[in-house]
Amino acid sequence: MPLRGLGWDIGPPFASNRDTLPPVGSYGHKGFTGTMIWIDPVSQTYVIILTNRLHPKGNGNAQALRDEIISLVSDAAGPVSRKQVVANRPSLADCVKDDGSEVGPLRTGIDVLASERFAPLAGLRVGLITNHSGLDSTGRRTIDLLSKAPGVKLVTLFSPEHGLSGNREGKILPATDSSSGLPVYSLYGDVKRPDEKMLRNLDALVFDIQDAGVRFFTYITTMAYAMEAAAKQGLAFFVLDRPNPITGSLVQGPIMDKDLKSFTGYYPLPVRHGMTVGELTGMFNVENRIGAKLRVIKMEGYRRRDWYDETGLLWVGPSPNLRTVRQAVLYPGVAMAEGANVSVGRGTDSPFEILGAPWVKAGELTSYLTSRNIRGVRFVPVDFTPESAPFRNRLCHGVRIALIDRQVLDSPALGVEITSALYRLYPKDFQLQGTLGLIGSREVLRCIREGHDPNSIVQKWQVPLEEFCKLRARYLLY
């Protein structure tokens, strides 16, 4: 239930930094007929919605429309910068680190490397693993910075899933970067590991890609495979570190069974690991005995608790279907059901914010999930027609998942709730076994199949999570 003050609801639904605002940061009111007004003095944004759910039969529902409008306003308004927050409220919370010391503007690994005039790479012939997210804080490509760096010879490029431009689906073919003229080897096609031919005439590999902070996001597997190849050829491996976009402080979800290792699961991590790519390389290098000559170019000014839109950096969606921070927050949970025969909104304007199938009854699924009282989200019925498989160009029915409070949401727990609901309501239609690869735990799948309450399933993975956190602590850099 929302907080109230003299008739107003208190709690900002469309501010990107809602969890950092004081209790009176935003306020609004929803009318019985479907109207709504909301005011956010921090971002200087207001929304007025005038509609009538009572016409013509008196039993309409305006909530889905209001949620969609709020989502559009949120995307258009964009993130509130630290400077804006500090200027609009008397707080120093955004000017200090977790330990109370002062923090400056966040500088990613490429920013730090450039400030050092690329000295760690001096005299080296370099291969760069990157994509469209490889940018410095001013928007310059890492490709262009390294190609002009004094004493550095950038020889070749490597691209992960979705290609160098980050907007491709399916297998990626080798190409040439039109700006630099450098060859681009694909690591998402028939070949997923750099081979000896690709690494010939190189002294080092450099990795600079924005990750999603989720176990089954393939960029970290590409990174690990490249580390193994570099170690085999005796090459140095550099990681230009970047923020975990869904915070480096929250660790959630089941840990992957070791024998389920695949391209979407390189190491037995929980769904949400709470680590940066630089920290992951340290763990992989030691725990998997890779033996790479590893060097992480650390960020400066990074705070583990920050969501990406609190870093001051421009959001660049790491893949075609993670277009907003909101979608990135929902992704670890909603995607857990993706291996089965359901659409998670790929091929629509709202990937990972909607979920459904032709055989789902939207009202039934919405009512069931609402009755579960899942913290941080709200559900409304939705019909949609995706342009991507599964169910391409077929009408699907399901739920729209409105993110209300990302700070309290346990997204992998949400994934178990959704998966359990689909299996409970549609046992003859929903292909539960297909979710194993992304859920990553046979025990979790068994519990869902046997009808265990999702809350009890979540409790089962808490002890393994505690053990993982002890291991994780050895490799944290910030």
Kindly tell me if the per-residue pLDDT of 311 is higher than 50: yes
Together in a domain, 280 and 350: no
For residue 47, what pLDDT is reported? Answer: 82
Together in a domain, 154 and 214: yes
Together in a domain, 303 and 342: no
Kindly tell me if the per-residue pLDDT of 101 is higher than 70: no
Together in a domain, 307 and 330: no
DSSP conformation letters of 100-168: S-B----B-HHHHHHHTTTGGGTT-EEEEEE-TT-B-TTS-BHHHHHHTSTT-EEEEEEE-TTTTTT--
Together in a domain, 205 and 130: yes
Together in a domain, 152 and 243: yes
Together in a domain, 15 and 56: yes
Structural domain total, the chain: 3
For residue 127, what pLDDT is reported? Answer: 98
- Taking residue 176's Cβ as centre, other Cβ atoms within 10 Å add up to 12
CATH code of the domain covering residue 411: 3.90.1150.140
* Phi/psi at 70 (5° precision): -60, -40
Q: State the Cα torsion 237-243-247-251 to the nearest 10°.
A: 0
Together in a domain, 50 and 159: no
Task: Tell me the residue range of the domain where 38 lies.
Answer: 3-86
Tens-place pLDDT, residues 461-477: 999 999 999 999 999 99
Residue 477 lies in a domain: no
Residue 471 lies in a domain: no
pTM, two decimals, is: 0.80
Q: What does the pLDDT average to over 320-343?
A: 97
Please identify, among 294, 315, 336, the residue that sits at the C-terminal boundary of a domain: 315
Q: Which long-range contacts (CB under 8 A, 24 or more apart) does 472-476 make?
A: 472/251, 472/273, 472/274, 472/275, 472/279, 472/283, 474/283, 475/275, 475/279, 475/280, 475/282, 475/283, 475/286, 476/275, 476/279
Residue 459 lies in a domain: no
Tokens at 246, concatenated: 């869904």
Together in a domain, 244 and 264: yes
The one-letter amino acid code at 342 reads: V
Residue 91 lies in a domain: no
Residue 450 lies in a domain: no
Please identify, among 253, 285, 315, the residue that sits at the C-terminal boundary of a domain: 315
Residue 457 lies in a domain: no
For residue 121, what pLDDT is reported? Answer: 98
Together in a domain, 127 and 244: yes
CATH code of the domain covering residue 117: 3.40.50.12170
Together in a domain, 297 and 381: no
Together in a domain, 154 and 216: yes
Tens-place pLDDT, residues 196-252: 999 999 999 999 999 999 999 999 999 999 999 999 999 999 999 999 999 999 999
